[in-house]
Chains A and B, each alone.
Chain A
Amino acid sequence: MLMTEIKDILSASRELGWVLEPEAKRVCSLAGLTVPRFTWATGVDEAVRFAQGIGYPVVAKVVSPHVLHKSDVGGVVVGIESDEKLGEAFHRFSQLNGFAGMLVEETLSGVELIAGAKVDYQFGPVILLGMGGTGVEIYRDITMRMAPLKEKDVESMVRRLKAHQLLEGYRGSEPVNLKELTRMLVAFSDLVMEIEGLIESIDLNPVLCSSRRCVIADARIMLITENAPNVPGIPK
Chain B
Amino acid sequence: MDLQPLFEPRTMAVIGVSLSNDRHPANVIYYKNHLRYPVKVFPVNPRGGVLQGERVFAHISEIPEKVDLAVIAVRAEYVPGILSDCIQSGVGSAAVISGGFAESGRADLQDRIVAIAREADFPFVGPNCLGIYSPTHMDTFFLPSERMVRPDPGNVALVSQSGGILVDQMIKFAEEGVGLSRAVSIGNKALIEELDFLNYFAQDTGTKVIAFYVEGFGQREGRDFVLAASQCPKPVIVLKAGKSSGGSRAVSSHTASLAGDYETFSAVFSQYDGVVEAKNEFEMVTFCESLSCYQRSIEGKVGIVTGSGGHGALAVDVCSEHGLSVPPLPEKAQNEIRKNLSSSVQTIASLGNPTDLTGSAVDDDFVFTTSYLSRRPEIDCIIVLLLPYLPGITSDLGARLSQVYYQEGKPLVAYVPHVEKYRMLIEGFELSRIPVSPSIEGAVLLAEAMRRAKPC
A residues with CB within 8 A of B: 18, 68, 114, 116-118, 120-124, 126, 128, 130, 136-137, 140, 142-146, 153, 200-203, 205, 220, 222, 229, 231, 234-236
Contact = CB atoms under 8 A, between A and B. Distances in A.
A116 B221 contact: no
Given A126-B267, A146-B223, A18 B252 contact: yes
Nearest to A142: B258
A122 B265 contact: yes
B135 interface: no
A231 B249 CA distance: 14
Contacts of B263: 144
B256 A222 contact: yes
Contacts of B256: 118, 200-201, 222
Interface in B204-261: 216-223, 226, 250-259, 261
Contact of B255 (A116, A145, A235): A116
A137 B254 contact: yes
Contacts of A229: 252
A222 B255 CA distance: 10
Nearest to B267: A144
B344 interface: no
Given A116-B255, A118-B259, A122-B222, 16 more contacts: A116-B259, A121-B219, A121-B220, A122-B216, A122-B217, A122-B218, A122-B223, A122-B261, A123-B264, A144-B267, A146-B223, A146-B268, A202-B253, A202-B255, A203-B253, A234-B250
Contacts of B261: 120-122
A153 B270 CA distance: 12
5 contacts: A122-B265, A123-B264, A137-B254, A137-B258, A231-B252
Contacts of B251: 201, 234
B391 to A, nearest CB: 47
B271 interface: yes
Contacts of A118: 253, 255-256, 259, 264
Nearest to A156: B271
Contacts of B219: 121-122
Nearest to A143: B267
B252 A126 contact: no
A146 B51 CA distance: 55
A128 B255 contact: yes
Interface of B: 216-223, 226, 250-259, 261, 263-265, 267-268, 271
Contacts of B222: 120, 122-123
Contacts of B220: 121-124
A53 B371 CA distance: 74
Contacts of B226: 123, 146
Contacts of B217: 122-123
B252 A116 contact: no
Given A118-B259, A144-B259, A126 B264 contact: yes
A201 B249 CA distance: 15
B264 A144 contact: yes
A137 B253 CA distance: 10
Nearest to A18: B252
Contacts of B268: 123, 126, 144-146
B32 to A, nearest CB: 36
Q: Which of A68, A121, A123, A201 has the most CB of B within 10 A?
A: A123
B94 to A, nearest CB: 27
Contacts of A205: 254
Given A146-B271, A229-B252, A120 B258 contact: no
A130 B252 contact: no
A139 to B, nearest CB: 10
A229 B259 CA distance: 19
A134 to B, nearest CB: 9
B450 to A, nearest CB: 20
Nearest to A69: B252
B398 to A, nearest CB: 39
Contacts of B221: 122
Contact of B265 (A123, A128, A130, A220): A123
A120 B264 contact: yes
Contacts of A18: 252
Contact of B264 (A122, A136, A137): A122
A116 B259 CA distance: 9
A203 B255 contact: yes
Contacts of A137: 254, 257-258
A123 B223 contact: yes
Given A122-B265, A144-B267, A128 B259 contact: yes
B252 to A, nearest CB: 5
Given A122-B221, A123-B226, A145-B271, A201 B265 contact: no
Contacts of B223: 122-124, 146
Contacts of A136: 254, 258
Contacts of A128: 255, 258-259
For the complex of A and B, the 7 pairs showing the least CB-CB separation, nearest first, are: A116-B255, A122-B222, A144-B267, A122-B217, A201-B256, A201-B253, A123-B222
Given A121-B219, A145-B268, A146-B226, A126 B259 contact: yes
Nearest to A125: B223
A122 B254 CA distance: 19
A202 B268 CA distance: 18
Nearest to B248: A235
Contact of A130 (B216, B258, B264): B258
Nearest to A140: B258
Contacts of A122: 216-223, 261, 264-265
